[in-house]
Amino acid sequence: MPFTSTISGTKHEGIHGFLIKPHVNHYCVAEKGTLNVLNIEPYSTIGLQLEARFTENKDTVVFESPTQTNSFFQTSRESLEVNTIIDSLLSKLPNIEYDERITKIVEYIKANYFQSDITPQTFADMVFLSPSRLAALFKKQTGSSLSKYLLWTRLRQAIYMTLSDKDRNLTDIAYDTGFYDLPQLNKYMYEMFGMPPKALKHNSDLIQVY
């Protein structure tokens, strides 16, 4: 269904979607149905691929029709579904044989993101590489720096906790996801999404996690 969105102060009516870079102010209104929001880590392989599709000096792409959306994301189906877009994005990923050391670190982050004392040396000691060599290898294979990958994992978990349990204290969520305190979580949430977790908590609902 078409919806209305104000992006960087400009109102767009009857649109079917948009793609924006981080930190772009936007506000959406959908009278019927549900808005699907994909937050893509900007330093990931997919994030960098999408950034390259923006025209020069532009930080927004607005889709006036489902056809425009499907064309931009290079999908083969006529219907506009979020799963179709996700499948298309994933299909463009390069076929990489991941180094077992990188896999080990990714699995470690999944299981231990909440530990606030994780440092570059923590990862280096795990795989017997210097921090600089490991950083270069991780960046080459994932498109993201180690620090950004860890931060994004923590933010993703903080968002999930905030939206899945609205009664939960935000300070507790900050501590439970590896941030030193709520101000630090506020800082990174605002940098990446343009809003603090309090605003997210009161203005969004968790419908489905992809």
pLDDT tens for 109-139 read 999 999 999 999 999 999 999 999 999 999 8
From residue 171, how far is each of 45, 116, 167, 182, 198 by CA, in Å? 32, 14, 12, 5, 11
Q: Is the pTM of this model over 0.85?
A: no
Q: Name the least confident of 19-28, 61-70, 178-187.
A: 19-28
Kindly list the domain boundaries of the chain, sorted by start residue: 3-91, 96-210
Decide if 28 contacts 4 (C-beta within 8 A): yes
Q: Where are the beta strands (DSSP E) in 1-66?
A: 3-7, 10-15, 17-20, 26-29, 60-63
**Residue 103 pLDDT exceeds 60:** yes
**pLDDT class of 208 with cuts at 50, 70, 90:** low
Burial of 69 (0-12, 13-18, 19+ CB in 10 A): buried
Residues forming a β-bridge with 132? none
Q: Which of 176, 175, 177, 168 is nearest to 200 (CA)?
A: 168
Topology classification of domain 96-210: Arc Repressor Mutant, subunit A (1.10.10)
